[in-house]
Structure 1
Amino acid sequence: MAGLKIWSVFLIILYHFCQRCIPCGISTHIEIAHRALEFFIKNEGSVNYRQLLLNHQDAFQAGSIYPDAFYSPVCKAGIFHDVSEDTHWSPFLKASIQYIRRNYPQPWEEATEKLVAFLFGIASHMVADVSWHSLGIDQGFLKAMGEIDFHGSYSEAHSAGDFGGDVVSHFELEFSYLASNWYVPVKDLAAIYKEFYGKEIITESTITDCTFLLYLELHGERLAVAKLFPRYASKSPFLVEKFHEYFLGGVDDMAFWTNNIFEMTSHMLENGTSGCYLPENPLFINCTKEHRDNHINKQSKHERHKNTTSLLTESLEKNINYTERGVHFNMQSWATNSLRLMNRAFTTNIWRALAATHQKSSKHISKPVASYFLTSPYARLGWAMISADLNQDGYEDLVVGAPGYSTMGHVQIGRVYVVYCNQSGLPREDMDLDGKADQVLQGHQPSGRFGSALAVLDFNEDGVPDLAIGAPSVGSQFLTYKGAVYVYFGSEGRGLASQPNVTITCQDSYCNLGWSLLAADVDGDGNADLVVGSPYAPGGGQQRGFVVAFYSYFNRSDQEFLSVQDANWMVQGEENYAWFGFSLDRCQLENTTLLLIGSPTWKSCARCNPFSSDARQSVGKVYGYNPPSTERWFAVTGDKEMSRMGLSLASGVMSVAGNTRRVLVVGAPTADSLYRISFMSSVLHQAGLALVYDLTDSTKPSLLSTLSGDRRFSRFGGDIYLSDLDNDGLDEMIVTSPLRTNSISSILFGGAAGRVYIYNGKQASSGNVTGHCRSWISPCPEDWAQYVLISPEELSRFGSSVISVKSESKKEVVVAAERSSAKARLGGRLFVYSL
């Protein structure tokens, strides 16, 4: 009976919160605090704050959610809504710090340590909410999500994003680190509120009851919300793709700002608040120099309903244990264990069943010859990859970026690894690149994300290859995100310089310079120049984007610093939030270079407001330029709403329907596809497309063929790469599908393992290729593939990027799984295949 009562309460809580979309991402807030703690290190006085937080996870995790405790109408009919609102801002943090310093001198006893840990959790919640909700700043996560996926409506994005973030979190992430019990310092909180308001506003029992509802909701989310992924993914591709990495308010950015507020909080606990600048917005707290205050109008976003708190808490009162200064919330052990086991067993059994029933094909390659990894969490190894002969031994080498790489006290500074290839190819072993890479370059800017983009060219024309590295979030600690590109000169016999020789900067806030890089001959002198894409840059508006080129010169060796204003060539996007420059490629024609630029979130709007409901969102557009002219050579536009055509680009030479052609292949990874079984059909949302265009007449590309993904949300076309793998003079086409599942329905149970399809360059067909299948089920991307690479790990984003590396007699294919957690949580892995 007790078990039935607990599960009934779970369902009631989940119903109230999920249906009304009231919560502000409770699982997301815990995840942000958890990531921030990973690399936080602070010893102030005699207190090791990192160890204190690790020792009191029950209080730390509870605090990271606590500020939302009184928003819900389930909590006393929402009458304490304003208490929650006030708990989100700097004055409450200041009052809490002053309370602790006045009442609990060091050394602290355990209850005070728990109070401090709880306060750190509150501080994490504060700064995360600001960038997520765009409070006092521009272009935060929900603002951008509304502009791109909801016709400019912030309110619709807010409705979908707050709870949708938790859905994505539970679908993609493992939450085994969650504390089974919570501690809430209710007596201290009641005292702080009494001092803060000058009178008693809220009682200990109300704090206990309403916080306990959040505790129940968290466990309810663990049970069910991942199954809602299709619903929220359908609403917003932006939410799925940018949840972690969006530059202002993505989870990684919020973790960086949480790390910063941890630094400030520990400093104030030791030294007091008088020497610090504490505006209302916690994002601008600073203990070293003054910043201007950003005034924020508080707005209530929550409707009110009748009180059901007592009904729920009375039935579970025995799971609350009281101490002298606080309360412990305990979920009965059978409940937490069953939650964990149910999800694991269900997912594992489904995964095994699907694997057992899935027919293996001779095309399938499931075992790589080598894998490369890092043991640093959240490094995102493989976010960017490139191959080039850096050491000039005649064999291409592998260069790979890990923009999320962090060290203690230095968050997301990023690293780049160089692995040399020899006559036999890349090293055939499973190796940690931190110990075995031939060269390692490291960024130095806080959350600069060094390694986000790569290009190899001879920038100073001395005959030795140089390496350009993008760090698009440089300036994040100042909320400018201007970005930078660093060029490392190569020296014959000595490899790359250990420090950048040239630094290229941008003066515009949110420029994100260095998001994409390309080596291409722009000035027509036969030498590759440096092309830089900045899709989030203002470009004359907001996130229109621009692309600039810096010509290679012999005197670049004398130019230590350059800016966008020094660029030799520049083009800009057409409309706000079009992300012009998101992807780049080049096509070498007879006597000229065709520069290809993707603008995947471009909107189609004939004689209407781009943000009206009549506009077709994110159809995407690809531009062709014939530099040094800045006049557009051609443009190809998508025709499917939310398809993001142009997210990936590649060009080369293939034989299509028996005719050798120079082609442009464009990925539209969130395009819908039509699933057919005999005479029945249904829509596969965000299955993805790859579109092959004929560039014979380079001024008017014509569509030759299309290939479609065969699973919902599989992101077929997530990355595209063309390379001659069999030395026949024709390029094989490699198309990745990083969220592809084994079963048409297994997206409900996790198991998004990812696949990579390799299509032979001399056997390409025209028309709707994957609509012509051997069986009565279509589309069938596998039927037409020569090889299919199968992910060794689910939920790793296998195929997030792909590259080929040429040795003496063969080419190897390297596939990145930038969210692999096999060696470190979201550390990333590379897999090497010899075909």
Structure 2
Amino acid sequence: MRYLRVISIGLGFLLPMVLGCGMTTHEQITQRAISWFVDDGHHDAAVNPASIEHYRSLMTEHWSYVLGGSFFPDWTAALYIRQKGPTFSKKRRERLEAFMFGIISHDVADILWHGHNNKQEGFIRAISLGSMDGHYDAAHSLVDRGAETVLRHGRDANPSLRRWSMPEDDIRAIYQAMGIDLKAKAEGRPLDSLYYCFHRGFVAAQGIELIGSEVFPLYAAQSPVLVEQIENYYRGGVTDMMGWIPHCWKELMRWINTDMELPYGKSFCELVVEEYGDYKDNWAVSYIDAQPPKINSLVSPHNHPVMDTAALSATQEPISMPEVVVTQDEGGITLSVATGPPPASPATAPSPLARRGLVDHIVYGMDCDALTDRYSSVITLSSSVSYAGLGTAVASGRFGGGNQVNLAVSAPFYKTDTVRGAIFIVRDPRQLQGTTQRDIAQAADQTLLGESVAIPVRFGHSLAVLDYNHDGIDDLVVGVPGDGAQQQTYAGKVLVFLGHSGTGLSTEPDYTIQFDASLNHNTQLGEVLRVADLNGDSRLDLLIGAPSYELQANNTCSSSLAQAGAVFGIYSRPQQTPLLTHPDLHIYAHDPSAYANFGKSLTVDTINGQRTLVVGAPGFKSGPNPLAGKIYGFTLSSIAAPTPQFNIVGTSKFQQLGQ
């Protein structure tokens, strides 16, 4: 075993590396995705409960190799493992497989993050088209760099990120088979291409761990959408990537362990990626005749001015970089921070509450206080399931009739056997008095679960309560905006659980609202739910906001408009059909525009004696001001066609009026 000590290079040099590549983002996503790597019931010879547990254990045991692969810029070939793996020792093969799981995580995330599988809807593309005048490169640069700081700002330092490994001999052999010699030293550099790329990535990642939270405000102020939606944006947000990566890991298991072949033009785990007439996802199949690898660009001169003096001056204290230890063992290389406790954050680093408050202050102009500072008795309901999203939506109603008010709390990413999502019903919240903290799964009297699907569909993302069938008992309406995620239609649906006298809610949905193909254009039905009297019968009806709806070309627009948005109305009535495929009301902006997100917020009120529907479009661009926002008012005197009554337009950049 051979040891080498390398002193880290200067901070001003390393930051462009990490912020240009976004590797700590990939590491965080990989780490989260493992918790969702579970058996979804779709079994074959390569994918079954035993094999999934095997690879979970393998990744845990060789975690530093998974992290090294999560940074690595190129797809590695399953074909190499098939051909050479039988001759390897168990340890060598497992390390290579762990590294490859990390690589797949990196590239699946990139497909979604960059919108390679959808030219308008990927997270970076949405930010570029919605708030940066379509300048993709500028948005790409901002999001890759900014995401590092946003995610670092929201968490404590992570000691598990302080060690990376790479199966060096095997990676060199794969590149050699592609006709690429990585041993050549770049001019003026003491290390060859492979060493240089891996070293600079690791050292730069440690830089983000040290100061990422400090420079967060600089990047957060450039895009409110980055801060607000990085976690839950439906095509390329963190939770979307967390859902797809385990699904694609199972496809990788089939590639490694069977003779399965992928015909040209067929996608890898449903992620179709066609660029310049080629399919990027087929690079996983064979490294022969592959496109030039990304490592070439990573070792070329870096042309992006990533972090300027303003960013560096955001750190309030001198930063001391740790020493890095390089270990070579059995054909592998490991980089780790020298032994000792993780480097402490600067003394001025804020507490988690203060960090959350900084986000709210930057995005909303609001301040943040602890509940315990305002109330003498606070009951905390929590979940033991990581990343469940508990509290995404909360509603109350008399689901059993009578006077007892029940509480409904959603957790759209709650995991049982799979990531189904859940809604917890507490029939008498008063029973929780006298306690300070409870696991909601134990406190709940009833739990509604979503379907078992490969890609999470966000069951319970939104909730609403009304008497849907006019029987005098409250019913629970549940939004499932991610329905169709695996098919990449993102049509969404809305489910209605009826309340019953004395017993409460049905255990399965009684009604489904799922529009037909004419209205399914990234609709994400169920993203926003509200109730109001729409038809003047003094009973509550259902309002559905679809801010992501893609408006198709018609008389008002010459081409389709991504995320123009729409609002749909469903009347409550004594007789309802089990499957509703058309709404009673369609409402669109009279001046639709892409990424306006019409329908993001909704309410009905009486204005000047008339029932008025008020709709927010926070993404509306006003003149030179992106995300200025706009509010629309519609009178509901004409049931068939609500009439535009007034508009209020935002006057400044990023005002997001109507949010």
The TM-score normalised by the length of structure 1 is 0.64
| Residue identity in the other structure for 2:511 | V
Equivalent position to 1:22, from 10, 14, 20: 20
Greater shift in the superposed pair: 446-455 or 202-211:
202-211
Q: Is the 8 A contact 2:393 2:460 kept in 1?
A: yes
In structure 2, what is the Cα distance between the partners aligned to 1:590 and 1:578? 27
In structure 2, what is the Cα distance between the partners aligned to 1:257 and 1:26? 18
TM-superposed CA distance for 1:433, in Å, is 1.2
Aligned to 1:673: none
TM-superposed CA distance for 1:527, in Å, is 1.3
Output one character per residue of 1:625-681: Cα deviation in whole Å (capped at 9) or x when no partner: 22224211222222222011111xxxxxxxxxxxxxxxxxxxxxxxxxxxxxxxxxx
Aligned to 1:189: 171
Aligned to 2:652: 640
Given the superposition, is the C-alpha separation of residues 476 and 431 from structure 1 closer, same or farther in structure 2, using an over 3 Å criterion?
same
- SS of residue in 2 equivalent to 1:104: helix
Equivalent position to 1:414, from 385, 405, 421: 421
> Are residues 1:173 and 2:174 paired?
no
TM-superposed CA distance for 1:392, in Å, is 2.6
Output one character per residue of 1:730-756: Cα deviation in whole Å (capped at 9) or x when no partner: xxxxxxxxxxxxxxxxxxxxxxxxxxx
- SS of residue in 2 equivalent to 1:201: coil
In structure 1, what is the Cα distance between the partners aligned to 2:431 and 2:90? 62
In structure 2, what is the Cα distance between the partners aligned to 1:350 and 1:419? 28
Aligned to 1:110: 91
Equivalent position to 1:534, from 543, 546, 554: 546
Aligned to 1:570: 586
- SS of residue in 1 equivalent to 2:612: strand
Structure 2: gaps of 5 or more residues = 40-45, 185-191, 281-290, 304-320, 358-366, 553-560
Given the superposition, is the C-alpha separation of residues 620 and 415 from structure 1 closer, same or farther in structure 2, using an over 3 Å criterion?
same
Aligned to 2:615: 597
| Residue identity in the other structure for 2:115 | S
- SS of residue in 2 equivalent to 1:248: coil
Aligned to 1:482: 491
| Residue identity in the other structure for 1:511 | T
Given the superposition, is the C-alpha separation of residues 306 and 594 from structure 1 closer, same or farther in structure 2, using an over 3 Å criterion?
closer
In structure 2, what is the Cα distance between the partners aligned to 1:433 and 1:362? 19
TM-superposed CA distance for 1:324, in Å, is 2.5
Q: Is the 8 A contact 1:617 1:641 kept in 2?
A: yes
Aligned to 1:689: none
- SS of residue in 2 equivalent to 1:128: helix
TM-superposed CA distance for 1:365, in Å, is 1.2
Output one character per residue of 1:585-629: Cα deviation in whole Å (capped at 9) or x when no partner: 222579864322111111113xxxxxxxxx211111122222224
Given the superposition, is the C-alpha separation of residues 345 and 60 from structure 1 closer, same or farther in structure 2, using an over 3 Å criterion?
farther
User: Within 5 A, what are the aligned runs for 1:809-824?
Assistant: none
Q: Is the 8 A contact 1:520 1:593 kept in 2?
A: no
User: Within 5 A, what are the aligned runs for 1:91-110?
Assistant: 92=76, 96-105=77-86, 109-110=90-91
Aligned to 1:777: none
User: Within 5 A, what are the aligned runs for 1:519-530?
Assistant: 519-530=531-542
TM-superposed CA distance for 1:146, in Å, is 0.9
> Are residues 1:271 and 2:258 paired?
yes
- SS of residue in 2 equivalent to 1:147: helix
- SS of residue in 1 equivalent to 2:7: helix
In structure 2, what is the Cα distance between the partners aligned to 1:113 and 1:236? 41
Aligned to 2:603: 585
Given the superposition, is the C-alpha separation of residues 431 and 277 from structure 1 closer, same or farther in structure 2, using an over 3 Å criterion?
farther
Given the superposition, is the C-alpha separation of residues 293 and 466 from structure 1 closer, same or farther in structure 2, using an over 3 Å criterion?
farther
Given the superposition, is the C-alpha separation of residues 619 and 44 from structure 1 closer, same or farther in structure 2, using an over 3 Å criterion?
closer
| Residue identity in the other structure for 1:632 | P
Q: Is the 8 A contact 2:617 2:631 kept in 1?
A: yes
Aligned to 1:202: 182
Given the superposition, is the C-alpha separation of residues 510 and 160 from structure 1 closer, same or farther in structure 2, using an over 3 Å criterion?
same
Q: Is the 8 A contact 2:17 2:201 kept in 1?
A: no
| Residue identity in the other structure for 2:600 | F
Equivalent position to 1:126, from 89, 107, 115: 107
Aligned to 1:504: 513
TM-superposed CA distance for 1:187, in Å, is 0.5
User: Within 5 A, what are the aligned runs for 1:463-482?
Assistant: 463-482=472-491
Aligned to 1:453: 462
Output one character per residue of 1:81-120: Cα deviation in whole Å (capped at 9) or x when no partner: xxxxxx24xxx4xxx2121122223996112111100000
Q: Is the 8 A contact 2:23 2:205 kept in 1?
A: yes
TM-superposed CA distance for 1:16, in Å, is 3.7
User: Within 5 A, what are the aligned runs for 1:377-776?
Assistant: 377-408=386-417, 410-411=418-419, 413-421=420-428, 428-444=435-451, 445=453, 446-506=455-515, 507=517, 508-540=520-552, 541-556=561-576, 559-563=577-581, 566-573=582-589, 574-587=592-605, 593-605=611-623, 615-627=624-636, 628=639, 629-647=641-659
RMSD (CA atoms) = 3.5
| Residue identity in the other structure for 2:90 | E
Aligned to 1:328: 334
The TM-score normalised by the length of structure 2 is 0.80
> Are residues 1:255 and 2:242 paired?
yes
Q: Is the 8 A contact 1:22 1:302 kept in 2?
A: no
> Are residues 1:40 and 2:52 paired?
no
The structure that is strand-richer by fraction is: 1
Given the superposition, is the C-alpha separation of residues 180 and 633 from structure 1 closer, same or farther in structure 2, using an over 3 Å criterion?
same
Given the superposition, is the C-alpha separation of residues 435 and 279 from structure 1 closer, same or farther in structure 2, using an over 3 Å criterion?
farther
Structure 1: gaps of 5 or more residues = 68-86, 308-314, 606-614, 648-835
In structure 1, what is the Cα distance between the partners aligned to 2:207 and 2:324? 18
Greater shift in the superposed pair: 540-549 or 177-186:
177-186
| Residue identity in the other structure for 1:189 | I
| Residue identity in the other structure for 1:538 | E
Aligned to 1:815: none
Equivalent position to 1:50, from 52, 56, 60: 56
Q: Is the 8 A contact 1:281 1:293 kept in 2?
A: no
TM-superposed CA distance for 1:206, in Å, is 3.0
TM-superposed CA distance for 1:176, in Å, is 2.1
Q: Is the 8 A contact 2:399 2:500 kept in 1?
A: no
Q: Is the 8 A contact 1:132 1:140 kept in 2?
A: yes
| Residue identity in the other structure for 2:20 | I
TM-superposed CA distance for 1:22, in Å, is 2.4
In structure 2, what is the Cα distance between the partners aligned to 1:155 and 1:264? 31
| Residue identity in the other structure for 2:181 | I
Q: Is the 8 A contact 2:543 2:569 kept in 1?
A: yes
TM-superposed CA distance for 1:291, in Å, is 12
Sequence identity (%): 28
